Chains A and B, each alone.
Chain A
């Protein structure tokens, strides 16, 4: 279970890091700095980060980056990565064209 994060907690100012330019989510081209700033903007769990930045919403559906995003967010919040729930798994499990998705055969 996700640890409940106290939203009134002050995380302090955003301090730039040398590797803020590093691409973390390669499908959506989102950098480490953007993720760290998003936490400072109040995105305190992975679902909020995903909706705010689109991390893990590209072609690979977070297969590669979800581990990285989880550990970056956890570090910003002073948590262990396992204390943050992953974003919910949903169908369709793979990218699909809407035309195909609407063509259901029973």
Chain B
């Protein structure tokens, strides 16, 4: 039986980070994963992550995955793929299914980082072909290059539902609607706004009643629900869709942790049954740790830090690191984690009703109910204020306290300030200096920054916005400008399209619109020859 100082189960963001950290202190580490590819969910994530520089903010998820794999290789971590851990037994012995046989391994320490699985909801027809999880849709599109369907209904308006809806549109599917039984959009306002401006409608306080179709989905019947989640008769309507995508939450995959006999508890805010862990992720069994979603649903950025902390604690437990060195590094990881957990969507705010920002500004109600911010509401926020008489200036439509600050670093002129608290709303100052470089546009993971030039010509304005669709338009193309809700409002001419290696696949498209539409135009439907 092979023995390792640390066995990590799961090669996702938490598991890999834990393995890298422990190996960097000199430990002999092996990672098992049942999948054919490492990285867990990271390689499906084609959007830019939130956070600050140290949280890999504005980097696309799959690139973070590539960096982690490289680091794992460099630090000497052994990664075994298609190796399914079947059980954990006494004295940290595990069995692993590897091809046609079972292998035994023993670890001085074990870190369980098995992640989460998608929740489903039941309704007549939920087992029919065409009903899939949002994660499955991402796997099809982003790993295998297959369109999950043509017309899609997204069920769930949390960040997963919003992000995957946008990706479905990028892949060329039509998202017919996003529905949620809750009366409010669950995910970040900036994610909602970027899907709303592509024209996807939100139906809140709506649920799916049943599917239409004999052998596969040909439609979905949705209906409004009352405050007790009961369908209001007479509100049913049928949407013509061929795919129903469920983004209704995740559950920790805690079976392996459970069979060790460690203390477990049921916690709604953590997504289900999870092991009871201390601040290092150590369970009630000494040397058995849990990191990432298995210990409570969060997101990949915090999973990576939790993994680092567990890896560090394992190194200390095994005598690879001195107490003071450990403490310094632990405190810095913990600070980084608490930054990510801050803001109005943070773990401590779960279940609370937030009505205003930390700055005391009222939260946009239309943003929560329709997915976009009303023009009158946006004017309250300092990110959209114009401080100079003429010329180009940034408009930042970021109105909720979320942990994110790449815009601040992006502006070399120092026009954008977030401050030390990364959940603060960005403030635009001193726009005299704005050179219109567009670095803020491409740095914003929420695609919430625009450059507005009110004086493009005498009677027209130029709006620059982030564009992540193919084919890219070119200067001279014509289209219709869309407002924040995706409604066509006026003709627009594309005057400039900027791309570049440093822009990481986000193009900056500049369109010319009549001046009276400058504060309304936020996206463009480009006419195609066909």
Contact = CB atoms under 8 A, between A and B. Distances in A.
A94 B89 contact: no
A8 interface: no
Interface in A8-26: 19, 21-24, 26
A22 B122 contact: yes
Contacts of B103: 104-105
Interface stretch (B94-102, B135-143, B150-158, B286-294): B94-102
A94 B122 contact: no
A103 B95 CA distance: 12
B120 interface: yes
A26 B128 CA distance: 10
A70 to B, nearest CB: 10
Contact of B97 (A68, A96, A106): A96
A82 B272 CA distance: 9
Given A89-B259, A93-B87, A96-B86, A105 B95 contact: no
Contacts, number: 75
A104 to B, nearest CB: 5
B366 interface: no
Contact of B95 (A19, A21, A88, A91): A91
Contact of B1 (A91, A103, A106): A106
Interface in B71-117: 84-89, 95, 97, 100-104, 117
B88 to A, nearest CB: 8
Contacts of A61: 255
B258 A89 contact: yes
Interface residues of A, number: 29
B101 A92 contact: no
B251 A67 contact: yes
A92 B124 CA distance: 32
B34 interface: yes
A100 B102 contact: yes
Contact of A19 (B124, B259, B272): B124
A92 to B, nearest CB: 4
Given A101-B102, A104-B101, A106-B1, A93 B255 contact: yes
Contacts of A19: 124
A11 B103 CA distance: 49
Interface string B33-60: 0100000000000000000000000000
A67 B119 CA distance: 9
B100 A67 contact: no
Contacts of B89: 91
B495 interface: no
B273 interface: yes
A91 B86 contact: yes
A98 B84 CA distance: 15
A24 to B, nearest CB: 6
A86 interface: yes
A36 to B, nearest CB: 14
B259 A91 contact: yes
A92 B86 contact: yes
Contacts of B123: 22
B34 A94 contact: yes
Interface in B430-484: none
B120 A64 contact: yes
A93 B256 contact: yes
B102 A103 contact: yes
Contacts of B251: 63, 67
A105 B97 CA distance: 10
A106 B100 CA distance: 14
Contact of A91 (B34, B87, B127): B87
A83 to B, nearest CB: 9
Contact of B127 (A26, A32, A89): A26
B41 to A, nearest CB: 16
A37 B124 CA distance: 19
A22 B101 contact: no
B253 interface: yes
Given A89-B259, A93-B255, A100-B100, A23 B127 contact: yes
A63 B253 contact: yes
Nearest to A29: B127
Interface in B207-266: 251, 253, 255-256, 258-259, 266
A97 to B, nearest CB: 8
Closest 10 CB pairs of A and B: A91-B87, A89-B258, A92-B86, A103-B101, A89-B259, A82-B266, A89-B255, A104-B102, A26-B127, A105-B103
19 contacts: A22-B124, A24-B122, A26-B127, A63-B251, A63-B253, A67-B119, A88-B258, A91-B86, A91-B89, A92-B86, A93-B87, A93-B259, A94-B34, A96-B97, A100-B102, A103-B100, A104-B103, A104-B104, A106-B1
